[in-house]
Homo-oligomer: A and B are copies of this chain.
């Protein structure tokens, strides 16, 4: 089944507001067998919306719209679509009562008069209830096709989409198709290895993937591999994706750290929790970013004891016990200093394990021997200390992000005994 997505808002056209709704909707549709063939955006302009909706219905007979359902004069989506469907707006007393009670519950005073317009429903439309806001979702089904109207506020849109729209679309698809075809993906995450090396290892396996496509998605945190089964019969798709993952997994070895949108920090914390280890960090160039990554994970306090942000040599010496001579001899950005920082913070926090980072994040501070992007990392666990020196490309922010990811990865490999 094909459809189009339309997002409405002058702010979207100006580019000040990022349109996250269209991608959000699209990601929910492919896995159930709906193909989005076009996305469009117009401003809060009744004539422009009418023209676009007519075009969409002519092309695919099915359109999902978001935005322009609020109570103000700007919000003209409902009016425009109602006119396309020749469905007059009629006051829905049940919905009006629901709105009144909602305002009473909030205790912020009586319902403003402008909200009354949100209880006006195009004749024949199905109301899709919105527990998170005042604008109802609407499902219009007429001679021209189907139009689904959703509010533009992302969490309201998402709630109605998941609870009201997706189940109805599933029913419709089962009615229409004996042999439903869906598009689904799985993502395998790797880090610490360049895209070309991953590709070298997987090229020989690609023919065996058959109908499943493999995309390389290099990013600051590593190379993700997206396996996609395109329009495959619904009873085959999950098995086929599972086989594809199993085929590639051995070739990725210890460069693979998880699936989907798993965070490397959570992987490291889980393994340490299982082993009963405690962790501390010593940060120079990341300035707290490594601790922030770890503590972004709920429950991290069971494993993470804390750390020291040593943004000066003085702090490295005073707070981490790095010897002044070591810094003079090798420089603050060096493997020996990174190792001494890791040992120092491990001893201070009396943990089993520690990670340390020191580097030149830029834009200033580079030298011919240690250009911007040079970083040294160390991870110690029990008696073992692993360390490495790298050069990372990119802006200050990218260097810092790559640095935190590489430090977490060094600890993960240390935990696996792979370094």
The chain A residues found within 8 Å of chain B, CB to CB, are: 11-20, 22-27, 30, 36-43, 48, 52, 55, 183, 185, 215, 226, 281, 283, 285-296, 298-301, 304-312, 314-315, 318-319, 348-349, 361-364, 396-397, 400
Contacts and interface: CB of A to CB of B under 8 A. Distances in A.
Which of A17, A25, A38, A364 has the most chain B CB atoms inside 10 A of its CB?
A38
B26 A37 contact: no
Contacts of A19: 19, 22-23
A287 B309 CA distance: 11
Given A305-B312, A309-B308, A185 B287 contact: no
A27 B48 contact: no
Contacts of A293: 288
B296 A400 contact: yes
Copies of this chain per assembly? 2
Given A287-B291, A288-B289, A292-B287, A14 B40 contact: no
A158 to B, nearest CB: 13
Given A20-B18, A290-B288, A305 B315 contact: yes
A349 B52 CA distance: 62
Given A286-B292, A306-B310, 20 more contacts: A12-B23, A13-B37, A14-B26, A14-B30, A14-B36, A15-B30, A18-B23, A37-B43, A55-B55, A281-B309, A283-B288, A287-B292, A287-B295, A288-B291, A295-B361, A305-B311, A305-B314, A306-B309, A308-B308, A319-B348
Minimum-distance CB pairs A-B, first 6: A288-B291, A287-B295, A15-B26, A288-B288, A15-B23, A15-B27
Nearest to A15: B26
Given A13-B39, A39-B41, A288 B305 contact: no
Contact of A27 (B14, B22, B314): B14
Nearest to A304: B311
Contact of A24 (B15, B39, B55): B15
Contacts of A291: 283, 287-289, 291-292, 309, 311
